[in-house]
Structure 1
Amino acid sequence: MFFLASSATSIADDATSYRVEHGDTLSAIALHFYGDASLYGAIFEENRDQMNSPDHLFSGQRIRIPREPDTALAEDREVSIATSDDYVPYSDSRLKGHGAGPMLAESLFERAGYDVTLTVLDTWEEVEQAVKDKDFDVGVPYARTDDREHIYDFSDGFIDVTTRAFVRSDDQIPSRFDSEDLAGRIVCKPHDYFTSDIDHLVAAGHVGIILGRSPLDCFDRLLDERADVVVLNRFTGWATIQDNEHLGTDAIDMLEEPMGTVQMGIMVSKDHASGQELLEDFNESLEGASALISETNRELREDFAVTFPDLREVMVNRPYERSAHGEPVHLVSGNNYYPFSDEELPSQGMVTDIVTRAFEDHLERPVEIAFKSWVEGAQAVLDGEYDATFPYVRTEDRRSDYAFSDMLYGMAVQIYVRDGDPLEEYRGIMDLEDYVACKPEGYYRQDLQEALDRGLIQIVEASDEEACFQRLVEGEADLVTMNRFTAEAAVDRAPDVGDDDVREVEGAIAQMGLHLMVSREDGESRELLEAFDEAIKEMRSTGELQEIQDKHLEDFQGG
């Protein structure tokens, strides 16, 4: 959620007018203006003439924000959360914030104006019983299941959990199995874990199911041949194997085909007097929180790598023993392409962040990224040294050698000239007649291709963006075409180029998209590209892609 400076205007000495934006809540507005979401009541009281309830908000509405809120109107709201342990990475005492579930639940309730207490109980059975008895308000993280829905109500999901099949290394089940490959097998799940990922297989009679006391008990049953398959998320599965030497990483394989994906959230007792209010407040806080969730997941990935280095090494180096698809994805990118790609940028740039999250979060494949010159990186992909490169504009000359992903970001390309140049507004390619344009080495020329084909312009190259602007102010070139963000960063970095030396021409010369790019001749890379596009579609549909773009642009412009 972004609060625009233009949304707030002064209307009196004791109040400020604020224009409600899509997705705003009074709690979030209070948090923005006062640093305390619980003071939303002061805003509600100030606007009772136009609001029947604190939820009566609509986009474009003008509300008054008291400059000095009456703190007596702050609602004292508390919530107690119960969780347990050894559910890496979703709830584990060794991880920051006790893992993804408790950490996100606490943040989302605080965002809604609650004071939060978190208690870790010895077992998950104790958590469920304590929430049922209303000794605690909320249990986290939990998946909605048929048996639980008789006792508990659930929030919207905020954690996606994909489960995998673990089998004995001497078993012949293929890594990319189908239901027929599992016919007659016995699947073990810990007794307090969800089974919705395999219920369809059980109902169809393909597999039988036994319930173990714990993940370790299931793996012991697997090696004793009392079970054929253990179904867990890959983190919990490998953590259990790693923590118990007698299991042995060489004795067990994890198959590539997912068993299923479920969403986990919080749950409250159906008999809780304030249960529905808690869930409504939580779900409202969850809306528009994809940036918070993405950032929390990133922090936890980094913490996981530090806390469980041996486990991470096993998961990276041996994720799918029977398939090459689980190997790390080797990528190459370049520097100085602000805000899209640079080693010094947060998360190494917007597009680097998008690509990393698509592979690691959605495809569950670790990435290794090298940074080279743009020319070297593109050639290294053709030579088979890397699986893919980014971010690149799709051009006619590149199409013969490369295949491209769906668009990761769309940008306007502007024209930059020396101050005093007569070109004020771009209306068409004839405006560029007799101009000399500068392009950095390895950059696209699609925006100027028509003018170049018709002999209207010449193009000179420079080593990088700053060098192009240097050539411009020195008279060796007449214009530079570039997106506004990269251009502004290049002018700031160029030692002999000042803001007064360069001017942006009104009107964009082109609209370009940025893409991931693979070798057209590499069949495995083409398959990789198809999977990547599916991940990007999912990120786009959930709003995650837009959140990443907005965050990086906000950080870049604010910096």
Structure 2
Amino acid sequence: MVTVLAVSAAAVAGASTQVAAQSQCTNYTVVRGDTLFEIAQTAALSGGFQEIYNANRDILPSPNVLEVGQVLRIPCDDGNLPVASNAAPARVATLTAAEATQRPVRFLTGGNYAPFTDENLPGQGMFTQLVTRSMELGNAEQDFEVIFVNDWGAHLSVLLPSGAFDMGFPWFLPDCSQVGNLSPSNAMRCTEFDASEPFYDALVGYYTLQGSEYAQADEYSDLYGARLCRPDGWFSFDLEAEGLTDPNVELIFAASEEACWEMLTSNAVDVVTYDALPAEKDFADLGLQEQVVQLTPLASKQTLHVFVPKSHPNGQAYLQTLNAGLEQLRLSGEWFSLVRSGIQASAEN
């Protein structure tokens, strides 16, 4: 059983090419020059290139690389998927769920992060639904609560370490094999927390204005000297990995996503960068489609997880339950259905 509460606290568009005709609910064989963006555009998918990437993440290690001859599943209008001719047979999972505890597991999340978590979206957001179903499938006897605290900055620094909550989501995880190269605020995601299996592969986008000196950037080094804006509370480990930190760039953390776009249009910053899914909805809602250029060669893939403090006595048992349910969710196809409907619901809001 799940309880949802709310409390207060103290990508890829490529160069223009001609792709072969295709339609929804079919398999499509990649030809030279194809991009996910143009395949999605030709198939008239409401979720765009992210929808095709979601449907084919088992064969697409990166949204930036397609191989000639790959067979991609083009989602159906009702959310189902055709069977790809190169799809591997589904594995039958042998699952061992963690034993139910005496009290509910307390999940911590926050709002205003559509389509992932938001109290005003169906199921409180796409990621919330994925976590809920994973817990139900992993151990139906385990009660749990999902509690919204909209002070995101307090989640990893105070609320989870204090033991007030058991697990938190959704959080991006850096490459922990390179933890020595991370700043302390990013390294603590590796040193202080254990993470679930990836729940979602998110594309991080870079955006500038038409006519900007950075509009043709196709390497991260092309942004050296730029002023980059990222919303406050967002990670920066991907920027650190690509040298997009002082002194190469001026990195500005604005109070909100909208503040970044306001700074871009007023020429107070040169580039806005954060999660492509909400970013593209944000600049569309602000009526900036004709002014904004997506720097598609710079888009990167980052994974979203559920975190649990390493010090939590039941942390590994909780992760075992969650990961077992997530595996069932993926094998059944329900993962894709929830992701697709979550993205559509956010677009309609």
Structure-to-structure mapping, 1:452-531, within 5 angstroms: 452=244, 455-492=247-284, 498-531=288-321
Displacement of 1:485 in angstroms is 1.7
Q: Pairwise CA RMSD of aligned residues?
A: 2.8
Aligned to 2:147: 370
1:263-312 CA distances to partner (integer Å, 9 max, x unpaired)? Answer: xxxxxxxxxxxxxxxxxxxxxxxxxxxxxxxxxxxxxxxxxxxxxxxxxx
Q: 2:26 aligns with which of 11, 21, 35?
A: 21
Aligned to 1:25: none
Aligned to 2:343: 553
Structure-to-structure mapping, 1:29-178, within 5 angstroms: none
Displacement of 1:504 in angstroms is 1.5
Structure-to-structure mapping, 1:17-416, within 5 angstroms: 21=26, 325-364=101-140, 365-371=142-148, 372-379=150-157, 380-395=159-174, 396=179, 397=187, 398-416=189-207
The structure showing larger relative contact order (alpha-carbon pairs under 8 Å, at least 6 residues apart) is: 2
Aligned-partner residue type, residue 244 of structure 2: L
Q: How many angstroms apart in 2 are the aligned matches of 1:555 and 1:7?
A: 25
Displacement of 1:468 in angstroms is 1.7
CA pair 501-453 structure 1, distance change in 2 beyond 3 A: closer
1:141-192 CA distances to partner (integer Å, 9 max, x unpaired)? Answer: xxxxxxxxxxxxxxxxxxxxxxxxxxxxxxxxxxx9xxxxxxxxxxxxxxxx
The DSSP-based 3-state class of the residue aligned with 1:403 is strand
Aligned-partner residue type, residue 480 of structure 1: V
Q: How many angstroms apart in 2 are the aligned matches of 1:366 and 1:473?
A: 47
CA contact (8 A) 2:224 2:249 kept: yes
The DSSP-based 3-state class of the residue aligned with 1:443 is coil
Aligned to 2:328: 538
Question: Identity rate of aligned residues, in percent?
Answer: 25
Gaps of 5+ in 2: 1-20, 28-70, 73-96, 180-186
Aligned to 1:187: none
What's the TM-score once normalised by structure 1's chain length? Answer: 0.41
Q: How many angstroms apart in 1 are the aligned matches of 2:110 and 2:285?
A: 17
Gaps of 5+ in 1: 1-5, 9-18, 23-58, 61-175, 177-255, 258-319
What's the TM-score once normalised by structure 2's chain length? Answer: 0.63
Aligned-partner residue type, residue 166 of structure 2: D
Aligned to 1:427: 218
CA contact (8 A) 1:414 1:507 kept: no
1:194-213 CA distances to partner (integer Å, 9 max, x unpaired)? Answer: xxxxxxxxxxxxxxxxxxxx
Q: How many angstroms apart in 2 are the aligned matches of 1:425 and 1:338?
A: 29
1:340-394 CA distances to partner (integer Å, 9 max, x unpaired)? Answer: 1111111111111100111134322333222222112223111111111111110
CA contact (8 A) 2:137 2:325 kept: no
1:478-515 CA distances to partner (integer Å, 9 max, x unpaired)? Answer: 11112322102322455xx6333432123243111111
Q: How many angstroms apart in 2 are the aligned matches of 1:20 and 1:441?
A: 40
Displacement of 1:20 in angstroms is 6.3
1:212-261 CA distances to partner (integer Å, 9 max, x unpaired)? Answer: xxxxxxxxxxxxxxxxxxxxxxxxxxxxxxxxxxxxxxxxxxxx96xxxx
CA contact (8 A) 2:108 2:168 kept: yes
Q: How many angstroms apart in 2 are the aligned matches of 1:428 and 1:377?
A: 33
Q: How many angstroms apart in 2 are the aligned matches of 1:520 and 1:548?
A: 29
1:509-530 CA distances to partner (integer Å, 9 max, x unpaired)? Answer: 3111111111122231232112
CA pair 411-476 structure 1, distance change in 2 beyond 3 A: same
Aligned-partner residue type, residue 163 of structure 2: G
